[in-house]
Amino acid sequence: MKTKDLILVSLFAAITAIFSQISIPIQPVPITFQVLAVALAGAFLGRKHGFLSQVVYLLLGAIGAPVFAGFKGGFNFLIGPTGGYLFAFPIAAYLIGMLSERKGIINMFIGMLLGIISIYTLGMLQLKVVLNLSIQEAFAAGVAPFLVLDIIKMAFASFIANEVLKRTNMLQRA
C-alpha cells in the first residue's frame, strides 16, 4: 500500500470518528453522521481502501479510543445494541466503493443505498438479539427513525463525491 493510500485510509477513519460525534442521542440508537462518512469513504477511496478505513475505525473503537458516538469506545459497544451498525460499516464502504468505481452519480447513489441497507440489516438484527425485540420492534427502533434522513444524506454524499471526483484526480482510487 502506498503512503498516499495509508494517509487516506487514516483520514477517513478519523472523519468517521469526527462525524460520529455529530449526534442526536435518542435511544436505543442515536442519530449520527457516521453513515455519511462511511458513504464518502467508499465513494472516494473505492472498495478496498474504503473497507480498510472502516476497519481501522472499528479497531480504534474496540481498543477503547473514544471514536464512537458520545465519545465512547471499547469492545462492549461492538457487542451492545448498536454494534451491528458498526460492524456493517466496512461492508457498506465496500459495497459503495464497488459501485462507485463504475463511475457516475447513479451507480454511486445505488451503491450508497445498498450500503445503508447493509447497515440497517446488521444493525437491526443485533438490536433485535441484544434487546430481545421482535423484528418489527427492532425495525421501529433501529431503522424507521433514520430512513428519510439517511436517504437525504446518501443523495448529498453521492452528489458531493461525484462532483469532487469529476473535478480532481487528487483522490484517484486504486
Residue-level pLDDT at 169: 64
Residue 107 lies in a domain: yes
Cell of 75: 469492545
- What pLDDT is attached to residue 174? 47
**Nearest one of 13, 110, 94 to 48, comparing CA atoms:** 94
Q: What residues of the chain score a pLDDT lower than 70?
A: 169-174
Q: Where are the alpha helices (DSSP H) in the chain?
A: 3-20, 34-62, 75-78, 83-100, 105-131, 135-142, 147-167
- What residues make up the domain containing 60? 3-167
* Predicted TM-score (pTM) above 0.95: no
Cis peptide before 145 (omega within 30 of 0): no
Helical (H) or strand (E) element with 24: strand 23-24
* 13: CATH: 1.10.1760.20
* 25 upstream amide cis, omega within 30 of 0: no
Q: Does some domain include residue 110?
A: yes
Residue 173 lies in a domain: no
Compute the C-alpha angle 101/107/108, nearest 5°. Answer: 70
pLDDT of residue 68: 94
Whether 105 maps to a domain, the answer reads: yes
Inter-residue contact 20 to 61 (CB < 8 Å): no
In total, how many domains does the chain have? Answer: 1
State pLDDT tens for residues 75-113: 999 999 999 999 999 999 999 999 988 888 999 999 999
31 bridge partner residues: 24
Task: Say if residues 150 and 144 touch (Cβ distance below 8 Å).
Answer: no
d(CA 158, CA 140): 27
- The letter for the amino acid at 147 is L
Q: Is residue 103 domain-resident? A: yes
Residue 133 belongs to some domain of the structure: yes
Question: Of the candidates 52, 45, 23, 46, which has an alpha carbon nearest to the alpha carbon of residue 35?
Answer: 23
DSSP for residue 92: H
Q: Is position 174 within any domain?
A: no
